[in-house]
Structure formats: C-alpha cells, structure tokens
Structure 1
Amino acid sequence: MYGMVNSLFLIKMQSKKILYTILATLLLCTAPCLLYAQSDALTTARSHVQKKEYTKATELYQKLYDKNPADYDLYNEYLDMLLTAKDYKQAEKVVDIQKQVRTGFPMLYVDAGRVMLEAGKDKKATEQFDEAVAKLNGDESWTRQTANKFIEIGQDDYAIKTYEKIRAQYRTDFMYAGVLSRLYAKKGETEKAISVMLDGGHPYMVNASEDTKAGLLEILGTDAKKLQAGQKAIIKKINEQPDNPYYSDLLTWLYTQKDDWDGALMQAIALDERLKELGERIMDFARYAAKEEQHEIAVKAYEEVINMGNDKPYYTVARNERLGVLFAQLQKNVSYTKEDVAALAKQYDEFFTQSPQYYINEAVRDYAKLQAQYNNNPKSGIAILQKALSQNGITKFLKGQCKLQLGDYNILDGEIWEASLLYSQVDKDFREDLLGEEARFRNAKLAYYRGDFDWAQGQLTVLKASTAELIANDALYLSILITENLAEDSNYVPLRRFAYADLLLFQNKDKEADALLDSIVTHYPEHPLYDDILLQKAKLAQKHRAYDKALAYLNIIHDKHGKDVLGDDAVFRIADIYERYLQKPEQAKKYYEMLILEYPGSTYIQTARNKLGALQSATIVP
C-alpha cells in the first residue's frame, strides 16, 4: 500500500515538472512576441503623432501605459504627446496615476505644474512647482532631475530655488556652484553669478582655481563691463580674506583676461612677496605670458626674479628663460636689425660663459641657431654645438637634435659630406623615432642637392608615409618635384640647376642662387619648373623684404598655375605677407577665404581657417 502511494506521488510530481516545463517554454516563446508587439505599437503611435493623428495616438499610448505604468520613459513620451495635442484633462490624469506609482517624486510635481501652466491655470501651476521644491530631500539624483525639468520648461527661477534649497540644507556654497552661477548669468544677474562662482571655488580642492577660471570665463566672456564687475567682486573677496592667496591668484588671471598684463604682473609680484615664494609665482606668470606671446611682459617678469639676486633659487633659470623669450621675440619680429641680433648674441655669450652647465640644456640649440642663422656665423654655431656634444651629461635625445642642427650648419659652411655623416649617425641612433625620419629626410635632400635624384627618390618614397605630417608633406613635395621635372630624354640639367640653386639659397648665397634660377628660365623657357622657380624667387624677395615683388611672383603662380601643386602654397603665402608683413588684415582675409574656397583639400586649410577666424574676431568692435 505504501509503495503504491509513493509511486502515485512520484507520478504526480513528474507530471507537475512536465507542466512547468511546458509553461516555461511557452512563456519564452511568447515573450519576444509580446515585446515585438509592444515595440510595433509604440512605433505606430509615434507615426500617428507625426501625422498629427492624436486620437489614434492617444488610444495606443493609453493601452501601452495601462499595461506598464512603471515605464517612466513611456510615461514621459505619452505626456509630451498629450500636451502637444492640448489634451490637458488626460495629461492631468496620467500625471496623477504616475504620482501614485512613484510616491513623493518631486519631478512629477514639475510635470503637473507644466500641465497646469499650458492649460492656462497659472496659480495651480505655481502651487505644483512649489510642491516640487518642497518634496526635495537632498537626494543628488532627484535634485538634478528636478532642476533639469524646470530648465526644460523655461522655469529657471524654480531651477535656482531647487539648487538653493539643497545648498541651504547642507549649509555649503560649494554644491552646484557652477550650474547655479550659469543660471544666474542666463537671467542677466551677472554680479550674483560671479558671487556664486567665487563662493563655490574651494581653495583647497584639486583644480579649484582652474575650474573657477573656466566658470568665470564662461560668465564674463570678453565683455568689458562684466570683466570689471568680476574684478570688483574678486577685490572684495581679497579684502575680506587678505591672507587667502586663492582670490589674489584669480585677480592676476582676470587682469590677463582684460589684457592688462602690467596689472597682472604687479599682482603676481605682490602675492609672491607676501607669501615669500622667492619668485616661484612670478616665474609661473612669466611662462604663461610667454606662452600667450606677451613677450615684453614676460621679459619684465623674468627681470623681476633676476633682480632678486643671484642667491635666490630661480636666478639662473630666469636668466635662461628670459633669453629664450627674447629670441622668440626676435624671430617673430619681421623687421629685426643686425644690431638687434648682435645685442642678443652678446647676452647669450655672457650667459653661457657664466653658466656653462646650460650646454646640456635645450637653450644651447637657440644659442647656436642665433649665431649660425641670424648672425650669419655658421662656424660659431658649429663650435657651440660641438661643445654641447662633448659634455658628459647631455641626453641622447638632445645629442641627436644637436647633431641634426650641426649637420645643417655644416651645409651652411660648405661641408656637405660632414653633414651627411651627421645625419646618418642620427638615422642609426633613432631608427624607430621621428628624429630618425627627420635625419633620413635631410639626407634625401642632400642627395637632391647633389643631383642624385634616384637615391633621393628611394628615400622619399618611404618618408611620404611618415606619421609626422610635416615630414610627410615635405617628402611628398620633393618627390613630386623630382618626378614631374625629369625629362623623358634624361636631361637632368634644369633640375640639377634648380636643386643647386636651392642649396645656394640654404647657404644664404642669394645672388648666385637668383642668377642660377634666371638661367633656367632663359635656357629652358617652357620647362615645367617655372612655377617652382617663381616660388623660390618669391621666397628670396620676401627674405630681403621686397614684399611687393614677392606678391607679384606669387600672384603669377596663382593666376597661371593655380591648378598645379603650388597653387594653394602661393595663396597662403600671399595671405601671410598681407597679414604679418604689410599689416593689411582685409587683404589677408580675402586670400585666406580664397584658399578655403578654391583649395578645400589643402594642407593649409585648418591654419587658414584659424587665421581667418582670428582676423574676423579682431575686427569686431566690442
């Protein structure tokens, strides 16, 4: 009897398992169908909305919503549709149902207020908005979602109330300072926006100063009145907290935004002295000014540090960096004189005599460049670099850079084979580095100078694929120059002359180079090198400050050879001459625009856009 009962029990259990398995299988099979059905219904509903068939859309949305009222995304989509259809009664019902599903959600009271507002019930809308703020309990997610809902419907005042309530609840000025200040700025309350931003920047938080600067920049922009208001607010903070360097640092930065660099320097000096930083802050300011190409003020800042005395920690560093800024200023000056070069060379000589440890510093390359390329004294440049290379502490990378530079100056001095040897050494030492690629390109160009075009072309073929854009572009140009200008009858004479003229130009033998270029035009008047010759003569004229002559050559290239490889190069150079050398911004803009329109694939395109943007901004009257 017991065995029979047990058997029946087992049969019953097995039957249940089979039934459950069947049900589970059916559920798995039908679930995707249900999901697809819901997806299809939602797609159909959206289609009705696009066609403004709101009655049909409402029926579908309501069915979907009744099945799943907890789907918050579906709720929001349904509510938007009802408000678009101006069905305020149904919209109110939908929000009320959602309030029951999500008890206490402040965002739903914003939705309720939105419905009332669009229905023209302003008083009831205000009540709902007030209730939304009252429901806030400090939850981060709720706070941001509620504020964002208010912003989406144009209720910025309530978004401000949302953030202000939580800040008051936690008794902190740091929370939501950025977004709150932007809301005040959006309302036109600049002073309040500045105040919130300044209060919200905790001086001991990581990147606090940079975050505050970014926020202030967004609020103030370049508006003179707003910048003045910012200055006033920061000075007030300094007076309230005179021992807090945070606000003094902000004031220094603000002066630079107002283009008052002298005021910024004075502030940096005062703060450095007050905090007994021995020039560290002034050095930081000098570097920032140099980066912004405010060379004169950077030099002043470095001189402040130097004048502190040679027993101070930044004395020698300041002297070195000051020379670097002076050299950068000289290179940017299109009308520098021999006297300017000689005066700077004398300062470099004195510095390296007194601080020989800088022969293993990047500054030695500037020193050599000044002597060899600006003071027309390649032998002096060679001697400087050779001394650097003989130092024990020089790094491998700086050694490679110095050797490349030394190779160039050997070319200037007529020592072509010595230059090739130096380039080959760098190529070997930096085989997998961009420095090695640069060395290979220079050796290829040496082969081109010598007329060994086949060997040069072999190197250039590889270098055209360089990851360094400048090397790749230079290699491509030289490769095309060789390919396009070698005659089918193997008459290499015109290209050999042109290559040798290129070498003479590099060696600053300008008269010989010019005569050689003219000889090509005379003996080979129809040769395809003509546009390349025009470009070289334009560069030569520009070098000797004969800008009208340079423009004439470049315009011939554009007018007669504009569709060839040098067309965009000519237009860019014309624009650059008008902008930097002739100070004619309107003409410069004309040619930058021409480059952008006529040569959209040019390698100069991004630079042209940037320069055009800067010129257009400079001509806008504030």
Structure 2
Amino acid sequence: MQINNKTQNDYLIAENYYREGAYEKATQIYKKLYDKSPFNTTYLERLISCYQETDKFLEVEKLLNTRIRANASQTYLFVYLGYNYERQQLKEKAKINYNLALNSLDKNAAYGGLIGRIFKNYNLLDNAIIAYEKAMIKNKNANYSFQIAQIYGEKGDFKKMFEAYIDLVDKNENYFNLVQRYTSTYITDDSESETNILFRKTLLKKSVSNPKNIWNGLLSWLFAQQKDYKKALIQEKALYQRNSTDLSAIFSLGKNAFNNNDFSAAKECFDFINQKSFLKEEKIDANLYLAKIAVATKNPETEKFFQTLFTQFGKNTATIKLQVEYADFLTFHQNKPQKAKEVLEEALTFSHSKFDKARIKLKLGDILVFTGKYNKALIYFSQIQTQLKNHELAQQARFKVAQTSYFKGDFTWAKAQLKVLKSSTTQLIANDAVDLFLKITDNEPLDSIPSGLKQLAKAELLSYQNKDDEALAELDQLFTTKEVFANGLVPGEAIYDDVLLFQAKLFIKQKKYEDAVLSFAKIIAADNQGFLTDDVYYQMAELYNHKLNNPEKASEYYQKIIFEHASSIYLVEARKQYRKLRGDNI
C-alpha cells in the first residue's frame, strides 16, 4: 500500500512538472516510474514526450528499439518510433514504422485498440481509423465504431461519422442513448441543415438495408429535434404497431409538441393514446392534455368537453389535475372565479395526498389573486412552501409569492424570493425568476423617486385579471401624465422598453396588430442595439408574416435577424421562414 501511495505521489509530482514545462525534472521521475512498470503506456508516453520536448530524439530511438528487440510482438511501439521520426521531419522513416504497426494487425489484432488510440493522440487520424477498422475485421467481437465516429467528427466528415454511429447502434442497441447524446451536437432544429439531411439519409439507407425498430426510434428523435412532431408520430406509430403495449413514447412526444405550441401534432398524439389505451389512468392523462389543447386553441366546445370528461371519469381523486385545469379555464377564460373556487373546494374534500392538496391550493391562490384577495393568496402559497420544501410545487409557490408581491408593489420581498429561485432545479421557473428579478432591479425606484415600475406592475396585474383595456390605460398614463415623469415616459428612461414591450403584447392579445408594430418600432428607434432587439425584430416579422399579410416587410425583419444577430435564438426559425417567403423548396 505504501509503494502504491508513493508511486501515485511521484506520478502527480511528475505531471505537475510536465504541465509547467519543467521537462528535465519530469524526465527523471517518469524514467524511474517507467523502469519499475515498463508496460505502463502512460509512463512510456510521458517519458517519450519529455525526451522529445528537450530534443533528445536519440534517447527515444534507443529506448524503443531496445523494447522492440526484447519483444517484437508489441507492435504498438512502432507508432511511437514513427512519430519520433516525424518530429525530426524524417517523413519516410515515420511512414515505414507506421506501416509496420498497421500491417501487424493483419496477423494479430490484439493491439488494434491501443494502436488506434496512439495514432489518434498524435492526431494521425487516418491511420487511427485504419487501425480500428483492421482490428474489427480481424476480431468480430471488437467494436471501435464509437472511436471511429468521433474521429470522423474531428475531421469534419459528417457522413462517415453518422455511418459509424449508426453501425455502433446496429451492433449493440444499448448504445442508442449514447449515440443520441453525441449526434445531438451536430443536429439542429433546422431540418434543412447539412448535418440534419446527412443523418436522415444515413438512417433511411440503413433502415432499408437492415430494417430494425431502432431506426424508427432514431428517426422519431431526429424529427422531434426538428420540431416535425407529426413526422415523429408516424415513426412512433410504426413502433407501436410492432409492440402495442407501451404508449409512453407517444405521450412524451405529445407533451413535447404541446410545450412547443404545436397543438395540432399534440392533439394527434393524445387522440391516439385515448383510442388505443386500455388503462383508465393513461386515458385520463391523455384527456387532460386534450383539455389543455382545447383551452389553448379557444375551442368553443371546451366547456362541453370538460363536462363529457367528468361524466366519463367522474370527479374523484383520479381526476384532480383535470379539475384544477377546469378551474383555471373557468377563471381565466370564462371569468367565473366563484364557480372555479367551488370546483376546487369540492376537489379538496377527496384529495388524499399532500401533492394533490398543494396543486389545488396553488390554483386557489391564483383565483384569489385574480379576485384581488392578495393576502389570502399569499397564505396559501406560503403553506405550500412550508409543507413541500424543495419540491417543484414549492418552487412554483415561491414564484407566485414573488409575483403577487410584485403586483402589490412590494419589490423588496419579491426580490428576496426570486434570489432563491434563480438557482431553481426547474429551468422554466428559474428563467421566469431571472426575468422578473432583472425587471425589478433594472427599474425599481431609488431614493423614493418614482420610476414607473409600480404602474407597470399594476398594468400586469390588470392583464392577469383579464382587464386588458384598463392595463393599456395604466400604461398610457405613464406616457401622458406628469405624475411619474416630468414630461411623460420618453426614450432614455430605464423602464421605457419594458413598458412598450408589454404594451405590444397587450395589443397582440387584442388583435390590434398595427398598434403592436408601432410599439415594437418605438423600442427599435430608441435603441436598435439593445438586448431586446432580435426579440422585437422576430415579433415584428411574425406579425407581418402571419397577421398583416405583408411578406415583404416580414422578409425584411427576418433578414435583420439573419445578418445582424447571428447568435439569436430566433436565427434558425428566421432563416426557415425567410426561405419560405423567398420561395425556396423546403
């Protein structure tokens, strides 16, 4: 044990010298380590590197030739020797030794993996591929497809890289998740990108030559990455036909489509589950999302749909999430908060778990904020925080405490809650927390001088309560009265962009698209290099494209994102929409 500890300690000292460029000192320790363990390639590689960094190429040559004479079967040593010649610009001698190493694999592939690795470490990528391929030909149990794929990626040969990754899955389907993880580096949500097309073609070619369920799974994953959820569903349906016991993949796909606002594709997924499933719980979960879709798409039959579901599944413990969704619909879409409150109070009577109780109380809190009973709402939210510490529902409750405090104008308490949430494990909550925290810190009043934040918070509360005309009037007062700003809100005030952005969102909600464009244009006119610029350009492009029937103007703003904001999160979609408007065959 003592010897092992000393060896480890010596190695760490040598590594430290090596990294600091103290090669002479490192050489002395590595030589001692290598003499004790001559088959340790880590010590050998470092010793060789130290000699080469101090131009002692003859020492390397002597060392390696001695080893080769002692044991000619260790053919990986020829790679080290070849690279030693390469460092001296002796290309022919280097090539001879590389070939000795590679040709040795035709007889004995035992060192194939090691030879491939050494070539790769020396950035001799073509030779590394040859070594790995020879090793696999000689030994059918060897699988170096992963290493080969990575090398092709380094070389920028994406076609061969994808072929190698797919071969890896072909040999062992356990590599499915690994291949997803590594190929995701090259796959984007742009279906027309070069790498996406190559991956799709490679998969389709493989599925024709060697049909397997796994190819449908990878194609589904690819289409989902591209947000082509209906194409992904086709693949998942094909898989379901062969194994009609598991609908979980289609459920996940439906949720993904729903979260990305592709309600048509999401509905197809959940309709399919509703038709095929024999499990009551599965049907309830699918219908919950079908109800969410009906609400989101403002289906006039939504109320009737909810009642049909309660007739089919009842109002009980199994349908609590459905009842909470119904209460939300009644409050925020039907303006019937009292009826919603009654629905939730009934749900509390048969909720048995603390998590169900928390979901109900969260929605009750929302209704109380909607009806202006802020302090009672805060009590509900605080109870959930106390009872379910660190759970996602507790984090949601904390955010609602912060949001309600913001609405009330209590910015200090709101910030205290948001500071905690900025590191939330739930990304969506963390993002919302950061956005609200920045809005407060950027705009809060200083030294009792009004900043307009209280008025903006009040306008957001009014909008939350579905009082959009009153919210717009509150914002308008900032621009026209002198209660807060001496000359009304003008460019240069910290809150100017935030007010205009919220005003534009309210106009869009009211379908006043021309007014929304004017609000966006004022933000650009005030500061066309601001951090909101690409967001504003994209919103304007979308309005011109889909609401105002002005493709020329839409193209203009999509182009601004493409050419002026290359790092924008909207770049891929802007490029896609611009191509469509230009008439490209996508």
TM-score of the superposition, structure 2-length normalised? 0.69
Alignment partner of 1:388 out of 343, 347, 355? 347
Structure 1 residue 212: Cα displacement = 4.0
**Helix, strand or coil at the partner of 1:574:** helix
Equivalent position amino acid for 1:400 in 2:
A
Equivalent position amino acid for 1:159 in 2:
A
Alignment partner of 1:234 out of 199, 204, 207? 207
- Between 184-193 and 515-524, report the one with greater CA deviation: 184-193
- Whether 1:524 aligns to 2:483 is yes
Partner of 1:353: 311
C-alpha distance in 2 between matches for 1:478 and 1:219: 38
Partner of 1:107: 76
> Where do 1:98-497 residues align within 5 Å?
99=68, 104-115=73-84, 118-121=89-92, 124-125=96-97, 127-130=99-102, 133=105, 138=110, 143-153=112-122, 155-172=124-141, 175-183=143-151, 197-201=165-169, 207-214=174-181, 222-238=195-211, 245-253=213-221, 262=230, 264-277=232-245, 279=247, 282-287=250-255, 289-290=257-258, 294-308=262-276, 314-325=282-293, 327=295, 330=296, 340-355=298-313, 356-357=315-316, 360-393=319-352, 395-413=353-371, 416-417=372-373, 419-431=374-386, 433-445=394-406, 447-448=408-409, 456=410, 459-460=413-414, 462-463=416-417, 465-468=419-422, 469=430, 470-471=432-433, 474=436, 477-478=439-440, 483-484=445-446, 486-487=448-449
**Helix, strand or coil at the partner of 1:392:** coil
In structure 2, do the counterparts of structure 1 residues 119 and 544 end up closer, same or farther at CA, with 3 Å as the change threshold? same
Structure 1 residue 76: Cα displacement = 2.5
Cα contact 2:365–2:381 (8 A) shared by 1: no
Structure 1 residue 147: Cα displacement = 0.8
Which string of whole-angstrom CA distances, capped at 9 and with x for unpartnered residues, describes residues 431-453 of structure 1?
A: 454345335335534643xxxxx
Structure 1 residue 196: Cα displacement = 5.1
Partner of 1:25: none
Equivalent position amino acid for 2:367 in 1:
Y
In structure 2, do the counterparts of structure 1 residues 80 and 439 end up closer, same or farther at CA, with 3 Å as the change threshold? closer
C-alpha distance in 1 between matches for 2:127 and 2:565: 50
Structure 1 residue 143: Cα displacement = 4.3
> Where do 1:582-597 residues align within 5 Å?
582-583=544-545, 584=554, 587=557, 590=560
Cα contact 2:562–2:571 (8 A) shared by 1: yes
Question: Greater Rg, structure 1 or structure 2?
Answer: 1
Alignment partner of 1:577 out of 539, 544, 547? 539
Which string of whole-angstrom CA distances, capped at 9 and with x for unpartnered residues, describes residues 296-323 of structure 1?
A: 2332233233334767884443333333
In structure 2, do the counterparts of structure 1 residues 398 and 62 end up closer, same or farther at CA, with 3 Å as the change threshold? closer
In structure 2, do the counterparts of structure 1 residues 274 and 559 end up closer, same or farther at CA, with 3 Å as the change threshold? closer
Partner of 1:550: 516
C-alpha distance in 2 between matches for 1:169 and 1:267: 36
In structure 2, do the counterparts of structure 1 residues 161 and 103 end up closer, same or farther at CA, with 3 Å as the change threshold? same
Partner of 2:7: none
Which string of whole-angstrom CA distances, capped at 9 and with x for unpartnered residues, describes residues 183-205 of structure 1?
A: 56778988876665445337876
RMSD across aligned positions (CA): 5.0
In structure 2, do the counterparts of structure 1 residues 572 and 187 end up closer, same or farther at CA, with 3 Å as the change threshold? closer
Cα contact 1:360–1:391 (8 A) shared by 2: no
In structure 2, do the counterparts of structure 1 residues 481 and 193 end up closer, same or farther at CA, with 3 Å as the change threshold? closer
C-alpha distance in 1 between matches for 2:504 and 2:162: 53
**Helix, strand or coil at the partner of 2:105:** helix
Partner of 1:610: 569
In structure 2, do the counterparts of structure 1 residues 529 and 208 end up closer, same or farther at CA, with 3 Å as the change threshold? farther
C-alpha distance in 1 between matches for 2:435 and 2:266: 34
Which string of whole-angstrom CA distances, capped at 9 and with x for unpartnered residues, describes residues 24-78 of structure 1?
A: xxxxxxxx9xx99x979x967789xxxxxxxxxxxx9899979987662132232
In structure 2, do the counterparts of structure 1 residues 617 and 75 end up closer, same or farther at CA, with 3 Å as the change threshold? farther
**Helix, strand or coil at the partner of 2:210:** helix
Cα contact 1:420–1:446 (8 A) shared by 2: no
Which string of whole-angstrom CA distances, capped at 9 and with x for unpartnered residues, describes residues 74-131 of structure 1?
A: 3223236659xxx7x7764454245458764333211233456642426734542335
In structure 2, do the counterparts of structure 1 residues 357 and 579 end up closer, same or farther at CA, with 3 Å as the change threshold? farther
C-alpha distance in 2 between matches for 1:282 and 1:538: 37
Cα contact 1:412–1:507 (8 A) shared by 2: yes
C-alpha distance in 2 between matches for 1:540 and 1:576: 17
Which string of whole-angstrom CA distances, capped at 9 and with x for unpartnered residues, describes residues 403-443 of structure 1?
A: 34333334444xx23x4213213313424543453353355
Partner of 2:464: 506
Which structure ranks higher in relative contact order (CA pairs < 8 Å, sequence separation ≥ 6)? 2
C-alpha distance in 1 between matches for 2:270 and 2:351: 29
C-alpha distance in 2 between matches for 1:44 and 1:314: 65
Cα contact 2:323–2:343 (8 A) shared by 1: yes
C-alpha distance in 2 between matches for 1:511 and 1:293: 26
- Between 189-198 and 575-584, report the one with greater CA deviation: 189-198
In structure 2, do the counterparts of structure 1 residues 260 and 444 end up closer, same or farther at CA, with 3 Å as the change threshold? closer
In structure 2, do the counterparts of structure 1 residues 588 and 273 end up closer, same or farther at CA, with 3 Å as the change threshold? closer
Structure 1 residue 459: Cα displacement = 2.8
In structure 2, do the counterparts of structure 1 residues 559 and 408 end up closer, same or farther at CA, with 3 Å as the change threshold? same
- Whether 1:77 aligns to 2:43 is no
In structure 2, do the counterparts of structure 1 residues 540 and 185 end up closer, same or farther at CA, with 3 Å as the change threshold? closer
**Helix, strand or coil at the partner of 2:76:** helix
Cα contact 2:317–2:350 (8 A) shared by 1: no
Structure 1 residue 231: Cα displacement = 0.7
C-alpha distance in 2 between matches for 1:472 and 1:396: 28
Q: Could you list the runs of 5+ residues in structure 1 that have no partner in the other structure? A: 1-31, 48-59, 239-243, 331-335, 449-455, 597-607
Cα contact 1:133–1:161 (8 A) shared by 2: no
C-alpha distance in 2 between matches for 1:130 and 1:538: 67
Equivalent position amino acid for 1:303 in 2:
D
Which string of whole-angstrom CA distances, capped at 9 and with x for unpartnered residues, describes residues 277-334 of structure 1?
A: 275554455445546654423322332333347678844433333334555xx3xxxx
Cα contact 1:368–1:385 (8 A) shared by 2: yes
Structure 1 residue 271: Cα displacement = 3.1
Cα contact 2:17–2:23 (8 A) shared by 1: no
Equivalent position amino acid for 2:90 in 1:
A
Partner of 1:599: none
